[in-house]
Structure 1
Amino acid sequence: MKELLNELREANIGNLLVNEPMSQHTTMKIGGPADLFIEPVNVDSFPIMMKILHKYNIKWRVIGRGSNLLVDDLGIEGVVIKLSNGIDHLKLSEEGIVTVGGGFSIITLSTLLSRKGYSGLEFASGIPGSVGGAVYMNAGAHGSDISNILVKSQILFEDGSIEWLTNEEMEFSYRTSILQQKKPGICIQAVFQLEKGEVTKIKSDMQKNKDYRKETQPWNLPCAGSIFRNPLPYFAGQLIEKAGLKGLKMGGAMVSEMHANFIVNTGNATFKDVIDLIEYIKQVVKDKYNISMETEVEIVRRKS
């Protein structure tokens, strides 16, 4: 690890932290230390960084703002690369073409573009994640999602290669893209196409979306957003509530009394508390309705 650190420092990759607690980088406020935590200085540093990581044959993963992430209390083996300040550039053309870094806040992006009269990202006004994470998950709400506006995305693949994929090549579907299983990777940069609209209406629609989330989702407590994918045509939250599981606690983890598809950290929840609660919910819904629930939140277990 010492040689790896020295080489990364010499290459001026960015901010390097050893044994950085992941609880400081997830909205769930859960997670043990990452062996090595890197915040790249810019997109151009990625090819150099990946060449070095592959030289040492070390495991790595990329995170954004940690809003859809549940990390083991034992931490994460290898390297965690966080898309943050160095990967948050933004360029906007008069034609509504937006080029933005994967570390840019999707909420901030939707707010900035609404003020300039560009429509298409109103749905994202309450999604507390990064652009990269939103593309990876095909994030959506209020009847729209990322697939409706993405032109292309620059992807960092598991082998360290980087290339641009078009909207069609991303193979988007409900809360899914090609990056999740078929061709694992992470978006480090995206290009969106927005349309000119009426500023007053855009802002009004965004405020309605924000108010709805504030009234129906428990973001006042540490949580990771929706825990389960909706098993269409059903809604996960409705099934969990109907099963009588709202307010159920295991350790410091609790099914939100505001929205049953959210598990909140009441103050001292462990990774195991949340996992036990997830598994219990799955079993109850399966027993009662014969419906299999799949998690939407990304679960990271340490294997060694």
Structure 2
Amino acid sequence: MIDKTLLEELSTLVPNELIKVDEPLKKYTYTKTGGHADLYISPNRYEEVSTVMKFARKYDVPVTFLGNGSNIIIRDGGIRGIVLSLLNLTDVQIKGEQITAGSGAAIIDVSRTARDHHLTGLEFACGIPGSIGGAVYMNAGAYGGEVKDCIAHAKVVNEEGDILTLTKEELELDYRTSSIQSQHLVILEATFCLERGDIADIQAKMDDLTQRREEKQPLEYPSCGSVFRRPPGHFAGQLIQQAGLQGHRIGGVEVSTKHAGFIVNVDNGTATDYEEIIAYVQKTVRDHAGVELQPEVRIIGEQATD
């Protein structure tokens, strides 16, 4: 836990109403799992993010960043130190053919805003249940499009609390990776370069992608999205299906019968259930097909203690 004296000092640096003590994180994850955070802070301004980072560095307090929790599993033991939520950073601005969105804005909403302004290039994101920050962090993509196809630059904060702007090249976006991960940066906003398009054509493409997603993905249950990265030369879901794992359950979570690449929370599952079934799927696919599945979902936090 955070020392009381440090908490009092922090309360003088950022508004006290932004700070929550011993906050349950299952409220903020798509899997509806996760333990408590020592401190949960939701800044409203970029400067507040910078202030928290400087405070944490000064007193050696660990900081974990959290977007909308769509592609993450937080262990049942929770997270020590500060969890910095970016969900309040949701401002979206249009300037010509560029759209700039705060880290906490839902990328689905941003794709719709682009459509409303007759801008094409973000249609692929119309069904991605993540924030702008999370999408840039992992170079999110779907149906042939990904963030690196249209991003121009991003504003970030480093561990020293400095606010920087990184170009597309400096972001080093690749399949589900970016320099944000390796350099431990936090994204404040991202700017995308789009093109003028016909709103009817844009909507038609979004409708098609939405229909395909609804037909194939188990949206009726809590999940963390696609669990595994695509192995070279294979599809993770197909390998899992061929291994006979659809419907396999551990605790309250199971491999989806609708799409084998998803693991869904069907009955008050825990993060421990998720970790155990992920490990079981990896072992079974390895034994069956000789392929090593690598998780795409982030797994963070501490194991629960008895």
Aligned to 1:270: 270
SS in 2 for 1:104: coil
CA drift of 1:44 comes to 2.0
Structure 2 stretches of 5 or more lacking a match?
A: none
Work out whether 1:177 is the aligned partner of 2:163: no
CA drift of 1:159 comes to 4.2
Q: Is the 8 A contact 1:90 1:99 kept in 2?
A: yes
Work out whether 1:125 is the aligned partner of 2:126: yes
Aligned to 1:90: 92
Work out whether 1:261 is the aligned partner of 2:264: no
Amino acid at match of 1:50: M
Listed one character per residue, the Cα deviations across residues 197-230 of structure 1 (whole Å, up to 9, x for unaligned) are 0000001101111111111111211100011001
Amino acid at match of 1:26: T
CA drift of 1:11 comes to 2.1
Partner of residue 47 from structure 1, selected from 30, 40, 50: 50
Partner of residue 26 from structure 2, selected from 23, 27, 51: 23
CA drift of 1:12 comes to 2.9
Aligned to 1:237: 237
Q: Is the 8 A contact 2:54 2:160 kept in 1?
A: no
Aligned to 1:34: 37
Amino acid at match of 1:3: T
Instruction: Within 5 Å, give how 1:126-205 maps onto structure 2.
Output: 126-180=127-181, 182-205=182-205
Aligned to 2:5: 3
- State the distance in 1 between where 2:179 and 2:290 align: 28
Aligned to 2:295: 295
SS in 2 for 1:292: coil
Aligned to 1:217: 217
Listed one character per residue, the Cα deviations across residues 62-82 of structure 1 (whole Å, up to 9, x for unaligned) are 110000010111111111001
Work out whether 1:57 is the aligned partner of 2:60: yes
- State the distance in 1 between where 2:8 and 2:292 align: 48
Q: Is the 8 A contact 1:70 1:298 kept in 2?
A: yes
Q: Percent identity?
A: 40
- State the distance in 2 between where 1:52 and 1:67 align: 28
TM-score, normalized by length of structure 2? 0.95
CA drift of 1:157 comes to 2.8
Listed one character per residue, the Cα deviations across residues 17-68 of structure 1 (whole Å, up to 9, x for unaligned) are 0111110000000001000000002112222221222222111111100000
Q: Is the 8 A contact 1:126 1:209 kept in 2?
A: yes
Work out whether 1:115 is the aligned partner of 2:116: yes
| Structure 1, 74-83 or 43-52: larger mean CA deviation | 43-52
Q: Is the 8 A contact 2:50 2:157 kept in 1?
A: no
- State the distance in 1 between where 2:243 and 2:162 align: 46
Q: Is the 8 A contact 1:115 1:203 kept in 2?
A: no
Work out whether 1:73 is the aligned partner of 2:90: no
Listed one character per residue, the Cα deviations across residues 148-187 of structure 1 (whole Å, up to 9, x for unaligned) are 111111122344433211111111111111222x322231
Listed one character per residue, the Cα deviations across residues 242-297 of structure 1 (whole Å, up to 9, x for unaligned) are 11101100110100011111110112111111111100111111111111110000
Amino acid at match of 2:102: G
CA RMSD of aligned residues (A): 1.4
- Report how many residues are paired: 301
Q: Is the 8 A contact 2:51 2:161 kept in 1?
A: no
- State the distance in 1 between where 2:183 and 2:59 align: 23
SS in 1 for 2:218: coil
Structure 1 stretches of 5 or more lacking a match?
A: none
- State the distance in 1 between where 2:10 and 2:192 align: 32
Q: Is the 8 A contact 1:28 1:223 kept in 2?
A: yes
- State the distance in 2 between where 1:98 and 1:9 align: 34
Amino acid at match of 2:93: K
Aligned to 1:207: 207
SS in 2 for 1:151: strand
